Structure 1
Amino acid sequence: MLNPLPTGRPAPMIETVVVQPTPFCNINCRYCYLPDRNQKAQMELSVITTLFSKIFASGWAADQLTVIWHAGEPLVLPVSYYETAFQAIEALRPPEIVVRHAIQTNGMLLTPDWCALFKQWDVGVGVSIDGPQALHDANRVTRSGRGTFAQTIAGLRLLRRENVQFHVISVLSAESLQSPEAMLDFYLAEGVEDICFNVEESEGDHVSGLFAAADTPRRFREFLSRFWTLARQSGRVRFIREIDDMLERIFRPESCGMGNAQVEPFSMLNVGCDGSTSSFSPELLGLKNAAYNDFIVGNILTDSLEAMLAGEAMTAMTRDIAAGVEICRRSCEYFSVCGGGAPVNKLSENGGFSSGATSFCKLTEMIPADLALAAFDQLERTMGEQAPPTTDIAALAAAK
C-alpha cells in the first residue's frame, strides 16, 4: 500500500508514463490535434534518467508500470536512441517493479532493426492505419498531401514477417462508418487480430465535422454491431477494444472497483521532450489554456513530484476534474463502466472540466455498453441456463 501524503490524502499511484521523445511527425494527418508536430526537438537522456529516478524514488510507481513513447512519431529517432533509453530505465528500475514499454507508430519507418528491438524488450506496438487504401489515404497524408498507405502497409507486413505482436488503431471517418465489411476484409487479409477504433473527434485545434453530425451515434452503433458480429463469425479476430474492454468493465467481479486513470492526479504522468510535465488526459500535453498554466504542472528537471502535485495548476485541474466526475456520478447511468469520462474531451466539447457527458462518451462508452448488454440479454434468451457465466469474459466475447 502506498504511504499517505503529509496532508493525509492518499498518495498517487503512477500507472502510466507517456513520454514524448520528440514532438515531430513525418506526416501530416488531416485530423491531427498535436500543435508542435513540426518541431524536431528530442528528449535528452538526462530528462529520461531524471524522470525515472524521481518516479522510482517517490514510491508512487505501480507494480506494473507502462511507459508509452508517443505524442509525435517516435520512430523518427534511431533505434539506438531507444536502446540507450531502455537500458538507462532498466538500470534504475527497482526489482519489485515491472516496466513495459509501448510505442504507437504510423509504421512507415519500420525496419528489421526496429523489430529486433521490439522483441528484445517485449515492446507493445501499435500501428496507426485507417483501413483499406482509399480510406487510409483520405486523411493520413504526407506534408505534400500524398497518401501514406503503401509505406504503412509495408511496415505492418514486416511486423508480421518478423513475428512481432502488434495491434492497430484505426480512426473512423464518415466513409469508414459505412464500410464495416470492407474494414473487416482488410484486417483479415492483412492478418490483423487486435483492433482499436477511434471515431474522429474534436481535440485541440481540430474540429471534427463527424462529431457534429446528428446521426453519428446511430451510424457508429450500426458499424460496431455489424463489425463485431462479422468478426466473431470469422473466428480470426482476437480483440476488439471497444467491445472486449467494455465486457471486462461490465462483468467484472463486484470486488473490483471502477478505475479511471485520466481523472486521478499522476495516475497518468505525461512528460514532454523538454521535461515539461502534465497529468490526466495525455492529449493535454502541448495544448494551451491560461487558467491551468497550459496544463503544465512543472518540469521534471527542476521540480519534485511532490511540489508538482501540490502546485497551483495541479490543484486547479484536480478540483475541476473531480467536480466533473461528481456530475457524471450523479447524472449518468453509465458511470460504473466509465468512472467520469476523459477530461480533454469535456474541455474540448463542453468548454470545461467541470461538466458531464460528451459526444465522445456516447461513442466510446455508452454505445459499446449498450451493445454488450443487448448481446448478453439475447444470449440468455437463446441459451438459457447454458449461457456462459458473466465471469467468463472470453466466452461472452465469443458468443456474439
Structure 2
Amino acid sequence: MQVAQGSSAAPSTGLTSAAAAAMRTPAQDGHVFSFVLVKLASRCNIACTYCYWFRDADVYKKPAVLTDEVEDAFCQRLEEHITQHGLTSFMLVFHGGEPLLFPKRRFVALQEKLNKIEERTGCLIERGVCTNAILIDKEWAEIFVEYEIGISVSVDGPPDIHDANRIDFKGKGTHAETIRGIEFLREAGIEPGLISVCNPATDPERIISYVVDELGITQFDILPPDATHLDNPPEIGTYFTKLFDVWFDRYAERGVRIGTLDAMIQGLVGQAAVSETIGLGPTEVVTLMTDGSLEPLDVLRIVGDGSTRTDSSVLTNALQAVQQDPRWRAAYDSSTQLADVCKACEFMDACGGGHLAQRWSTERGFDNPSVYCGSWKHIFTHIWDRIAPTLVMSLQEAEKAKAGAAA
C-alpha cells in the first residue's frame, strides 16, 4: 500500500486512493465509515512555513503523543465498530504533527493490538504512516516491513525548493535528512509514496524531473498550499497548466502518474474523481486526537482556534456516534452543499467546489467557491483543450474497429 498525498504537518492528510475514496464515498445519514486518521503525535520536529496544523492553538492543549488510556479505548471502540457493522476491511493512517515522535515500543505494541483485532474479527486493517521521514532509521524501516505499513513522505523538490519551506526550528533546510530517511526505507525494500507542495513561484518542470529522474518515483502528487479566503494566496493556474503540459508531453507515456492531474482528468471525462483535493463528493474523515477526541477533517484547523473541536471522544462514545456531533456534522454538510456559483459552474462535477478548507471565509463560512476558483477554471479549461482531441481520435478509432469487425 502506498500512502500518497500529504505528510505530517503538510497540507493534506496523506491518503491512498483507497483512503480518499473511503472519505469521499457517497453517503447518507448512518453511513458506516471505514477510515480513521489517527494522530499519534500533536507536535512536530520541524516548522514548515505553510503548515495548517498549528494555526489552531487547540493543538497545544492536546497531549504530545497519543495517551495509553486513549490507545486502549480506541482499540476497544474500533473492534466494537468492526464487529457491530460486519466490516471486512478498515483503514488507519497514522499522522501528526510528526507521527514518528510516538515511541517505537508503543508503536509496535499498537500494531500487535491491531493484529489481534484482525484475528478476532476477520477484518483486514490496512495501515499507513505519513511522515517527513527525518526520524526514519533502520529500526523504523524494519518495523514498517514487519507490519506491512505503507509510507508517504513529503518532498517538495530539489534541495533549494524543498528547503525554502520545510525547515527545522533553527531555520535550516531538512532535505538531506528526508532523503536519508527514504534511503533507509528503500534499503528495507519499501518504496514510499510521495507528496510535493507546490510553490507557484517555482518551475514545476524541476519538480517532476527531480522526482522521476533523480528519485526514481513515478507515482506521486503535487498539491497547492492550503489557504482560505483570508490568506489571499498567489494564483496556481500558470503552475499547474505547465505541470500538465510537461507531464502530458514527456512523462505520461513513461507511466508517470500525478494524483491531482489524474483526478482532474477523471472528473472531466465523467468519472468519479478520487482525490481529497478536487472532485465532487462528501468529506467523511474521522480524526482521532491524542486526547481521544473524535474530530472532522484535520485540515479544517486552518480556519483557526477551536475550528474542529467536538464533544465526541473514544473515552465516552462509540466511533460511529461522531456522525451526530454538531461540529463533525457541520463539516460533512458543508462538503455536500456547494455555493450557488459552484452549482452553476460547468466544472462542478469535476471540481466539486475544491478542497473544503479552501472555501472558508469569515463572512460566509464554507459557503464559497475555492479560494483557487479562478485558477481551477483556468486549469480545467487547459486540460480539456489538450485531451479533447485525443478523446475524439480514440472514439473514431473505436468506431472504425467496430465497423471492421462487423464487416
Please indicate, yes or no, whether the TM-score normalized by the shorter chain is above 0.5.
yes
Distance 1:203 1:75 in 2: 29
Shift of 1:12: 2.2
Shift of 1:145: 0.5
**Structure 1 pair 13/82, CA: closer, same or farther in 2 (3 Å)?**
same
Letter paired with 1:230: R
Distance 1:295 1:332 in 2: 33
Matched, 1:30 2:49: yes
**Structure 1 pair 188/98, CA: closer, same or farther in 2 (3 Å)?**
same
Normalised by the length of structure 1, the TM-score is: 0.77
Matched, 1:196 2:221: yes
Q: How does 1:325-336 map to 2 (within 5 A)?
A: 325=338, 327=340, 330-336=343-349
Matched, 1:73 2:89: no
**Structure 1 pair 346/54, CA: closer, same or farther in 2 (3 Å)?**
same
**Which residue does the alignment assign to 1:141?**
167
**Which residue does the alignment assign to 2:180?**
154
Aligned to 2:177, the other structure's residue is in SS state helix
Give 4+ residue runs of structure 1 displaced > 6 Å after superposition. 37-40, 256-263
Task: Decide which moves more: 138-147 or 222-231.
Answer: 222-231
Distance 2:378 2:355 in 1: 16
**Which residue does the alignment assign to 2:288?**
271
Matched, 1:107 2:125: no
Aligned to 1:299, the other structure's residue is in SS state coil
Distance 1:258 1:25 in 2: 29
Cα offsets for 1:22-50 (capped at 9, x unmatched)? 11111111111212677771102332332
Cα offsets for 1:162-219 (capped at 9, x unmatched)? 220211111111332x241454145311212222112123259xx756x2x3x53233
Matched, 1:299 2:329: no
Letter paired with 1:29: C
Distance 1:73 1:51 in 2: 20
Distance 2:312 2:97 in 1: 21
Distance 2:322 2:148 in 1: 32
Cα offsets for 1:272-329 (capped at 9, x unmatched)? 11111112x3213586456x6x43242221233455433443444455554x337476
Distance 2:338 2:358 in 1: 13
Number of equivalences: 364
Letter paired with 1:54: R
Matched, 1:51 2:65: no
User: Aligned match of 2:371 in 350, 359, 365?
Assistant: 359
Distance 1:286 1:368 in 2: 25
Paired residues of 2:41 and 2:98 also in contact (CA < 8 A)? yes
Distance 1:63 1:374 in 2: 42
Cα offsets for 1:42-98 (capped at 9, x unmatched)? 102332332243244234586432211113111122332221112212222464532
User: Aligned match of 1:284 in 290, 300, 319?
Assistant: 300
**Which residue does the alignment assign to 2:252?**
232
Cα offsets for 1:114-149 (capped at 9, x unmatched)? 222222222121111110110011111110011111
Q: How does 1:81-92 map to 2 (within 5 A)?
A: 81-92=106-117
Distance 1:328 1:269 in 2: 28
Distance 2:217 2:295 in 1: 33
Paired residues of 1:350 and 1:358 also in contact (CA < 8 A)? no
What's the Cα RMSD here?
3.5
Cα offsets for 1:225-264 (capped at 9, x unmatched)? 223432225x2x54211122334445566xx798979974
Paired residues of 1:225 and 1:371 also in contact (CA < 8 A)? no
- Calculate percent identity across the aligned residue pairs: 18
Task: Decide which moves more: 137-146 or 94-103.
Answer: 94-103
**Which residue does the alignment assign to 1:219?**
239
User: Aligned match of 1:116 in 118, 131, 142?
Assistant: 142
Letter paired with 1:309: Q
Paired residues of 1:104 and 1:126 also in contact (CA < 8 A)? yes
Paired residues of 1:184 and 1:231 also in contact (CA < 8 A)? no
Normalised by the length of structure 2, the TM-score is: 0.76
Mind listing any 5+ residue stretches in structure 2 that lack a counterpart? 1-27, 400-407
Aligned to 2:152, the other structure's residue is in SS state strand
Shift of 1:337: 2.9
Aligned to 2:239, the other structure's residue is in SS state helix
Letter paired with 1:284: L
**Which residue does the alignment assign to 1:164?**
190
Distance 2:79 2:245 in 1: 43
**Structure 1 pair 40/103, CA: closer, same or farther in 2 (3 Å)?**
same
**Which residue does the alignment assign to 1:342?**
355
**Structure 1 pair 328/54, CA: closer, same or farther in 2 (3 Å)?**
farther
Aligned to 1:103, the other structure's residue is in SS state strand
Matched, 1:15 2:34: yes
The higher relative CO (CA closer than 8 Å, separation ≥ 6) is in 2
Letter paired with 1:66: M
